[in-house]
Amino acid sequence: MAYAWSKIGSLPFDDLISKQKGGHLQFLTIQALVGAWAYMGLCLVWDLFPGVRQLGLVRFIKRMLLMVALPLAFVVTCIYWTLYLFFPTLILRPEDSFAGAQDSPSLVPKLFRPPLHVDMAMHIAPFATVLADFLVFEPKLSHWHLNKSAPITLLLYGVLYACWVEYCSFYNGVFPYPFLTINPPGYRAAVYALVTALALFALRLLNRLHA
């Protein structure tokens, strides 16, 4: 995940996106990457320094991060690779949309596809690592977490993300993902609601898989 983050600056779209309102944090992919990275970092501290386990606040933050990072990474992985394989124009940007590529526009734009190893580090590693940690080292989520804490947390996150990308797009004139740009507000609201519901469903499903 650190490798994926380090490679963002070397990708063609970095210069364009870095100048936009919200920068790379417009992307749910990057938020999932940062969330998983933060969660795994906290897990490392948890294991190396047993004394922090006595701190209720640290325990609470760790559990809350898990309830967001795990379903968020699941949603990103599922949606990204499904669209990448079957509907790439909905998730990938044309190469001539990047700065410096407007001199040779094409009638059939060629889509920019990140190098596979970077793509996997961004869109598979976060989910794989957080899921492995949850199934092997973490206790199963309680009834209270699944039915009270998680729905409120994920709903709040979904609303905040929707407001964030709408705010950024107002200044940028474009959404971070093509499938948001081509849809009117009503359809975008439905997408936000569907993704939030998918995240909650994923958390429940993955919790069932826990021994």
Per-residue pLDDT reduced to its tens digit, 165-186: 999 999 999 999 999 999 999 9
Which amino acid is located at 126 in the chain?
P
pLDDT of residue 197: 96
Q: What is the pLDDT of residue 73?
A: 97
Quick one: pLDDT at residue 103? Answer: 47
Burial class from Cβ neighbours inside 10 Å (0-12, 13-18, 19+) for residue 126 reads: buried
Q: Are 20 and 168 in contact (CB under 8 A)?
A: yes
Instruction: Tell the residue number behind the tokens 């709408």, with chain if given.
Output: 166
Mean pLDDT throughout 15-43? 94
Find out whether 145 and 67 touch, Cβ atoms under 8 Å. yes
User: How many angstroms separate the CA atoms of 72 and 120, rounded?
Assistant: 16
Alpha-carbon distance of 128 to 142, in angstroms, equals 22
CA 159 to centroid of chain Cα atoms: 15
User: pLDDT per residue over 63-117, tens digit each?
Assistant: 999 999 999 999 999 999 999 999 999 999 887 666 544 444 455 568 889 999 9
Domain ranges across the chain: 2-209
The C-alpha atoms of residue 123 and residue 117 are separated, in whole angstroms, by: 10
Q: What is the mean pLDDT of residues 30-44?
A: 95
Between 118 and 98, the more confident residue is: 118
What average pLDDT does the structure give for the chain? Answer: 91
Which residues pair with residue 85 across a beta bridge?
A: none
Residue type, 110: K
Strand partners, 158: none
Q: What does the block give as tokens for 63?
A: 């559990």
User: For residue range 124-171, what is the model confidence (pLDDT) as tens digits?
Assistant: 999 999 999 999 999 999 999 999 999 999 999 999 999 999 999 999
> Higher model confidence: residue 190 or residue 12?
190
Rounded-to-integer distance, Cα 196 and Cα 106, Å: 36
Backbone region of residue 173 per phi and psi (left: phi > 0; alpha: psi in -120 to 50; beta: other values): left
